[in-house]
Amino acid sequence: MERNLSIELTINEDVSQNEIIEKINGFWEANSESESESSLDEFTENNHEKNSGKISFRKLKRKIHRQYDMNIVHKYSTALDVFVRYIQCYHILYSESSYYCNCKLNMFMLPCMFLSTTCSVMASFKFNKIRETLLLSILNGIIAFLLAIINYLKLDANAEAHKISAYQYSKLKAQIEFNSGETLLQDNDPFLSDNHYVTEQMKQWDKHNKTLLSPEIFDKERARKYDELMTLKTQKEKQFIEKVEKIMVGIKESLKNIEDNNHFALPKHIINKYSTIYNMNIFLYIKSIDTYKNVLLNDLRNVKNEIRFYNKYMQNKDLQMNDSIKEKYIQLYKQKNHLLRDFFELNKGYTLIDSMLQQEIINIELYNKYWILFFIQNIIHCCQCCCGTKVKINILPSQYKKSSQIGYIDEDGEYLLDKVLRH
């Protein structure tokens, strides 16, 4: 139906606008799947569409996913890469916690060592005056007080526990990286790497056997060959998924052991400093992306149905297209363009999450390196709030930005990941 648009536009219309619509129409007709379906499971649904003129959400989702979804190998390998980045964030958290606890321990222990050495030297002398004896007693008291603080806060145990946890997270990260690479090697199997491999094999089989076999035998052998290939594909996918599930169970057990072996909470300073990483729920981000994809598909269905309605209305009424309808067509196709572009970018959802985590790590490194600039920026921000000025002054490094401001930017200058999280 959508092809009739370019034919109707040629009737008594402006040439420049015709070219615009024809280009838009030609682009989407060349890059979209045909509206007709031939499979038996879609027969009823197609009949309903023929009668109503509308495309269902289920069919649109099936068409989009069949054409643009990544294969199972890349999907699970990319998911493991996201876990690698997630584990790396926790490795940074516990490394920083160990460093922070060590700094506090040194702050108390070094003066204690110095004073203890001083008292040992002073004890070799014989003091006749009460003042020197009192000074020595005071120094011993300070030493005892500092040691009591260290023992009470358990700084040495804290630092050691966080150091061990950081080391275990580092080992787990290397293990997941190896598992991700091992999973990606399964890409050599065409049953797993190519979603259309069975269809291509059946086409080749039809080409070689259609002229050699009678129609009855051909249909029977073709059904048997198709069932054989699908059974083999299902078995390989099942084995692959079971392998990935074992990897995920191993990751779960490793994380549980790390948490059980470390009974000390992270320092409040580290939690506040790295609040984004600490409060991050990676599975919530994944669900948010999947939910937003369904929202985009629903909007796309509405746009396609509206285009179909206009086409059918113009055909039934045998009307020519006026300027208002032409403008409406242009807006609908632009909207369709934006929705499809957003959806295709969201197919890289795991990559977006990985980039977000990587940007958060970059922000941490920049903060540790240019903490003075961040301190000055906070002072400037406070002054601007007090003065009520709207002029924004930014002295932070250009690499520093909000972790969600990565990836695809639409024509309105809005980041796709920001829209997903806001939704």
Q: What is the pLDDT of residues 63-76, one digit of tens each?
A: 776 666 667 787 88
Model pLDDT, residue 35 = 36
Angle formed by the axes of helices 323-346 and 15-30, to 10°?
30
The predicted model scores a pTM of: 0.68
pLDDT at 125 over 50: yes
User: What secondary structure letter does DSSP report for 126?
Assistant: P
The pLDDT of residue 18 is 47
Q: Return the minimum-mean-pLDDT range out of 31-40, 63-72, 92-101, 244-253.
A: 31-40
CB 265 within 8 A of CB 101: no
Average confidence (pLDDT) over 127-138: 77
Ramachandran sector of residue 388 (left: φ over 0; alpha: ψ -120 to 50; beta: rest)? left
351 neighbors 78 (Cβ within 8 angstroms): yes
> pLDDT tier at 357 (50, 70, 90 boundaries)?
confident
- What is the percent of the chain with per-residue pLDDT over 90, rounded to a whole number? 9
User: Would you say residue 23 has pLDDT above 50?
Assistant: no
The reported pLDDT for the residue numbered 92 is 87
Residue 248 pLDDT exceeds 50 = yes
pLDDT at residue 105 in the model? 92
Average pLDDT over residues 65-89: 78
Residue 409: predicted pLDDT: 79
pLDDT at 200 over 50: yes
Region 296-320: what's the mean pLDDT? Answer: 77
SS3 33: coil
Give the lowest-confidence range in 1-10, 217-226, 296-305: 1-10
Q: Residues 6 or more apart from 93 whose CB is under 8 A from it? A: 266, 270, 274, 277, 278
Q: What is the mean pLDDT of residues 402-420?
A: 79
| Sequence-distant (≥ 6) Cβ neighbours of residue 350 within 8 angstroms | 75, 78, 79, 81, 82, 286
What average pLDDT does range 322-329 have in this prediction? 75
Mean pLDDT of the region 386-397: 77
pLDDT tier at 148, thresholds 50, 70, 90:
very high
Secondary structure letter of residue 45 according to DSSP: H
Mean pLDDT is lowest, of 20-24, 202-206, 257-261, 338-342, for: 20-24
What is the structure's pLDDT at 10?
Answer: 37
Query: Best-predicted range by mean pLDDT among 196-200, 261-265, 383-387?
Result: 261-265
Report which of residues 315 and 43 the model is more confident about: 315
Q: Is residue 83 pLDDT above 80, yes or no?
A: yes
pLDDT surpassing 50 at residue 60: yes
* C-alpha–C-alpha distance, residues 219 and 84, integer Å: 49
Query: Residue 347: is its pLDDT beyond 80?
Result: no
User: For position 337, what pLDDT does the model report?
Assistant: 84
Average pLDDT over residues 188-206: 81
Mean pLDDT, residues 10-31 taken together: 40
Q: Tokens 């069919």 identify what position? A: 59
> H-type helices in 318-393, by residue range?
323-346, 349-369, 371-387
> What distance in Å separates the CA atoms of residue 346 and residue 410, rounded to the nearest whole number?
13
- Of these ranges, 143-157, 213-227, 344-358, 371-385, the one predicted with the greatest mean pLDDT is 143-157
More confident residue, 194 or 241: 241
From residue 2, give the alpha-carbon distance in Å to each of 50, 125, 271, 304, 376.
Answer: 14, 103, 55, 9, 58
Residue among 266, 289, 310 at smallest CA distance from 97: 266
Q: What is the pLDDT of residues 163-177, one digit of tens each?
A: 999 999 999 999 988
Of 6-10, 183-187, 270-274, give the lowest mean pLDDT range.
6-10
Q: What is the DSSP letter of 415?
A: B
Q: Which of 10-14, 35-39, 165-169 has the highest mean pLDDT?
A: 165-169
Mean pLDDT (the chain) is: 78
Of the listed ranges 32-36, 172-176, 303-307, the least confidently predicted one is 32-36
